[in-house]
Structure 1
Amino acid sequence: MTPEEFRKYGHDMVDWIAEFLEHGVAEQRVFPETKPGDIRAQLPEHPPTEPESFDAVMADLEQIIVPGLTQWQHPDFFAWFPSNITYPSILGELMSAGLGINVMAWATSPAATELETLMLDWMHELLGLPDQFRSTSECGGGAIQGTASESTLIAMLAARWRATGGEVNATGDTTHLVGYCTAQAHSSIEKGFRIAGIGTDRVRFVPTDDEFAMRPDAFADLVAADLAAGLTPFFVVASHGTTSSMAFDPTPAIAEIAQRHNIWLHVDAAMSGIAALAPEHRWVNSGLDLADSYTTNPHKWMGINFDCNLFWTADRSALISALSILPPYLASEAAQSGSAIDYRDWGVPLGRRFRSLKLWFALRTEGVAPIQAMLREHVALTQELAGWVASHERLNIVAPHPLNLLCVAHADGDQATDALINVANAAGIGLFTRTVLDGRSALRISIGARATTRDNVAVMWDQLATLAESQS
């Protein structure tokens, strides 16, 4: 492809994306009518022997790929969690690809490293986070990771290093370590225990209360039992908004127990932490001043396109000690002097993308006000929907709904709830996901797509309510 062709097709693609986001996505089914293997069957089984035109590629994209996608930007997308995008963020992603920078060390691109540090501090300020996480603090700082799953893993590795006195190596014994979370916490926590070489048999699932939040008394009892058994409690995850029900663990009480036993406290606020951009929702930060690490995702509810996860720690020395390996070809005077950050020491991969451009573009060209307005609108819509559900004879709200997630169940039981989810998704009135709360099936309604309006929610509710009544 020549530079002239790149310009032409680049302009065409930007026009296509803008048209699709403003009009085309709403014309698609939010979930495609397709079966496993249908998409592949429409594409050639073998690679082309001769180059094809870009127009031919775009034709297949429009006719085969896009209709086979789950449309996360659709106004009727109420599943899982929002994964919003915005135009400045898209342009930041394009610029990152165009510059082709690898942000693994200060020496590999000084400006990219320093912009990332600045963006973590900007977001620290905008979210109202505690001072110990800022890059200018004595021991803390942050980095952009790919996902909250990565952040949980690196927090676990830092905690492992601290708990073993820095003796962990490739053959180190970690069988005495135990960690804690609730069964409502994200699945990446259990996966992290596998990757970190500790094993899922060393995960303790702390019982929850009637709001699906961790019980501090139960956490304390489990810690005491493990200590009595000669084990070493080293890591606990407090969730600020679980995926299943948006439960908020009581972090201040958990922190008191964790500090008593030198247990690393990691707070996972993958989606809900972004709510703190609106000052009235800063309650989501409760207890963060007592945490060792914290993570939240601008690539969910904020509108910074995937992937962009923010991770902060109050103990960067443990993190760097756990993850730093310095081959001669990466040594630099700046890093050795301590005057610069090498982000290769702040995560699992060596190579890293220039993700900070997406935040920089978005915050400079649009600011935080449009994001705050969107968050407030989604919360208000969720509370209004909760009022409608409360007045319905056959549907019940089964979990607290402080922000933008509502969990409901059919009065006739699990079979009716599961059938409602399946029928609603098949009818295309929206896309919903199922969870299980205290052994009970629940339909999750996550209101967070950038394009979702009150009209979308009202139409969805009318259809969902009718379906629920027809099942009685």
Structure 2
Amino acid sequence: MNKDDFKKNAHDLIDWMADYYFDDVKSLPVRSQVKPGAVRAQIPTAAPMEAEGFQSLFDDFRDIVIPGMTHWQHPRFFAYFPANVSPPSVLAEMLTSIMGANAMLWETSPAATELEEAMMNWLKDMMALPTEWSGVIQDTASSAAFCAVLAARERATDWRVNESGLQASDKLAFYTSAEAHSSVEKAVKMAGLGKSSIRLVPTDDDFAMKPSALISMIEDDRKNGTTPTMLVATVGTTGVGASDPLEPLGLIARSNSMYFHVDAAWAGSAMVCPEYRYLMRGIELADSYAFNPHKWMGVNFDCTAHFVKDADTLKRTLTILPEYLKTREGNSVTDYRDWGIQLGRRMRALKLWFVIRSYGVEGLQAMFRNHIEMTEELAEKIFMTEGFELVTKPNLSLLTFRKVEGNAEESDQATEALLTKINDDGFTYLTRTVVNGRPVIRFQIGQINTSSDDVMTTWERIVALS
């Protein structure tokens, strides 16, 4: 592909992308309707021996790939949490792609490192986070949680595990709640500490971790010769959007010399709005904190903001310095390869820079407030609709509901059946969770282009399908 071909093909792609994002996606089924194996069956079993023209590739993309995609940018996507993209973020990703830089060291692209430092400071200011914190952009909150678990493990063992392996470790305990994201359990397992070291702290009626229960579990572990090592709290749980009380939990962690990590992967973006920062009361007690601009803020996946109180703890846990990575700048600059799992790092700060500047803090605030207002309006609608029950009230832009039909068992069966109908219909896409042992349907509003009309017509379709 020469320069002229590249320019022509790129223009064709841009035309398709603009039509897809602003217009065409609205007419597609939200969840892919293909059967398992349907996409694979259309792909040749062996790679071509001769080169193919770009038009052939593009045609197959449209004919084979698009029908097999679930459209996360659809304005009626209400499943999981959003993985929003926005036009300025897409354009930034295009620039990042063509430069193809590995931002592992300051020297390998000074602008990538220094822009990342600046963006983390912007986010601290936008969300009134502790000014003394340092930040890094990870790929996902799962990676941030893994880094936090490793740092907690090493701090609790005086870095003996890094030197001598797990046989040098005492019995360690990691505390979180059953509402926490599955990445916490995975991180503990990957750190070699086993599921048996995880303690699931009971929650209250609002599904928030109970500080009194945490204290009791810590006391029991100490009596059994186990070292309380880490506490992971959540602001905006995946299931129902619950938030743990950070201040009392942080004080417990501090009094027990435990590493305190806060996961606000989805809800953290809303902290741009001052009126929701009550959910973060006590955040200054955290050792680390992570949220995902690639969820609600409109920054293309992947982009996780990971803040730490003490960068030296993180770097001491993760740094390995072979001769081929030594540079003349040494410790006078930031080398972000010491702050995460990967050596090679994409330049993720450019899209964050483009998004924040394109929308401004006020524009982002307006989007979050609009989504939350629409969720509250939907909650009122569900409450007034016969045959439905609002199970958990709106937590920011997430609520849950169920179909009511006869007794509890019949209602549960009706709820499960309704969810299957909804997603097979294609008009919208919703997901399930379990509340107090019973299935419910989650409804989360967060897609950038979603309107109140999208929400209400979706509810009308749900009622019709029931």
Cα distance in 2 for residues equivalent to 1:351 and 1:292: 25
Q: For residue 7 of structure 1, report the CA deviation from its aligned partner.
A: 1.2
Pairwise CA RMSD: 1.2
Q: CA deviation at 1:56?
A: 0.8
CA deviation vs aligned residue, 1:311-349 (integer Å, no higher than 9, x gap): 0000111100100000011112322xx221110110000
Report SS of the residue matched to 2:460. Answer: helix
Residue 311 of structure 1 aligns to a residue whose secondary structure is: strand
| Counterpart check, 1:171 vs 2:165 | yes
Structure 1 unaligned residues grouped into runs of 5+: 134-140
1:362 maps to amino acid: V
Structure 1 residue 217 displacement after superposition? 0.6
| Equivalent-residue separation in structure 1 for 2:63 and 2:129 (angstroms) | 46
* 8 Å CA contact retained: 1:272, 1:284: no
Aligned counterpart, 1:137 = none
Matches within 5 A, 1:111-260: 111-133=111-133, 141-169=134-162, 171-173=165-167, 174=169, 176-260=171-255
Contact 2:170 2:227 in 1 (8 A): no
For this pair of structures, how many residues does the alignment match? Answer: 459
Question: Contact (CA 8 Å) 1:147, 1:297: kept in 2 or not?
Answer: yes
For the Cα contact (< 8 Å) 1:251–1:287, is it kept in 2?
A: yes
Task: Write the distance in 2 (CA, Å) between the matches of 1:218 and 1:38.
Answer: 50
Q: How far does residue 109 in structure 1 lie from its aligned partner after superposition?
A: 1.6
Distance apart, 1:369 and its partner CA: 2.6
Q: Please, which of 429, 437, 440 is the counterpart of residue 439 of structure 1?
A: 437
User: Counterpart of 1:43 in structure 2: which amino acid?
Assistant: I
Distance 2:273 2:250 in 1: 25
Quote the Cα distance in structure 1 between the aligned partners of 2:151 and 2:393: 33
Instruction: Confirm or deny that 1:76 pairs with 2:76.
Output: yes
> Equivalent residue of 2:76, what SS?
coil
Which of 448, 463, 466 does residue 465 from structure 1 map onto?
463
Q: Distance in 2 between matches of 1:197 and 1:434?
A: 31
Specify the alignment match of 2:389 in structure 1: 396
Map of 1:286 onto structure 2: 281
One-letter amino acid matched to 2:397: N
Q: Residue in 2 aligned with 1:318?
A: 313
- Alignment match, 1:407: 400
Aligned to 1:381: 374
Residue of structure 1 in register with 2:408 after alignment? none
- The answer as to whether partners of 1:433 and 1:443 remain within 8 angstroms in 2 is yes
Confirm or deny: 8 A CA contact 1:407 1:442 kept in the other structure: yes
Write the distance in 1 (CA, Å) between the matches of 2:178 and 2:359. Answer: 39
- Matched letter for residue 131 of structure 1: T
Matches within 5 A, 1:269-348: 269-335=264-330, 338-348=331-341
User: Which structure 1 residue ranges, 4+ long, deviate > 4 Å from structure 2?
Assistant: none
CA contact (8 A) 2:387 2:403 kept: yes
Q: Secondary structure at the match of 1:108?
A: coil
Letter in 2 for 1:448: G
TM-score, normalising length: structure 1: 0.95
- Could you tell me how far apart the structure 2 residues matched to 1:422 and 1:16 are? 32
Mapped contact 1:271–1:296 kept (Cα < 8 A): yes
Determine the structure 2 residue equivalent to 1:451: 449
User: Hey, what does 1:33 align to over in structure 2?
Assistant: 33
Quick one: distance in 2 between partners of 1:146 and 1:373?
A: 26
Q: Is the 8 A contact 1:42 1:64 kept in 2?
A: yes
User: 1:339, 1:367 → 2: CA distance?
Assistant: 32
User: Is the CA contact 1:247–1:400 (under 8 Å) kept in the aligned structure 2?
Assistant: no
Alpha-carbon offset, residue 251 of structure 1: 0.9
| Sequence identity percentage | 44
Contact 2:132/2:309 (<8 A) preserved: yes
Instruction: Report the residue type matching 1:64 in the other structure.
Output: I
- SS across alignment from 1:401: strand
Distance 1:313 1:399 in 2: 32
- What is the rounded CA distance, in whole Å, between the counterparts of 1:246 and 1:197 in structure 2? 29
Q: Could you tell me how far apart the structure 2 residues matched to 1:24 and 1:466 are?
A: 25
- Residue 293 of structure 2: SS of its match in structure 1? coil
Query: Is this contact kept in 2: 1:394–1:411, CA < 8 A?
Result: yes
CA–CA distance in structure 1, aligned partners of residues 54 and 363 of structure 2: 36
- How far does residue 178 in structure 1 lie from its aligned partner after superposition? 0.9
Q: Residue type matched to 2:368 in 1? A: L
Distance in 2, matches of 1:244 and 1:307, equals 22
Q: Distance in 1 between matches of 2:279 and 2:295?
A: 16
1:263 partnered with 2:255: no
Mean Cα deviation higher: 346-355 or 120-129 = 120-129
CA contact (8 A) 1:30 1:428 kept: yes
Task: Tell me how far 1:428 sits from its aligned partner.
Answer: 2.0
Instruction: Name the SS of the counterpart of 2:243 in structure 1.
Output: coil
Cα offset for 1:393? 2.5
Note if contact 1:276-1:283 (Cα within 8 Å) is conserved in structure 2: no
How far does residue 155 in structure 1 lie from its aligned partner after superposition? 0.8
- State the distance in 1 between where 2:251 and 2:273 align: 28
Query: Distance in 2 between the 1:449 and 1:175 partners?
Result: 46
Q: CA deviation at 1:368?
A: 2.5
Matched, 1:354 2:347: yes
Is contact 1:179–1:233 with CA below 8 Å preserved after alignment? yes
Paired residue secondary structure (1:237): strand
**Does the Cα contact within 8 Å between 2:240 and 2:395 map onto a contact in 1?**
no
Equivalence for 1:136: none
* Worse overlay, 75-84 or 174-183: 174-183
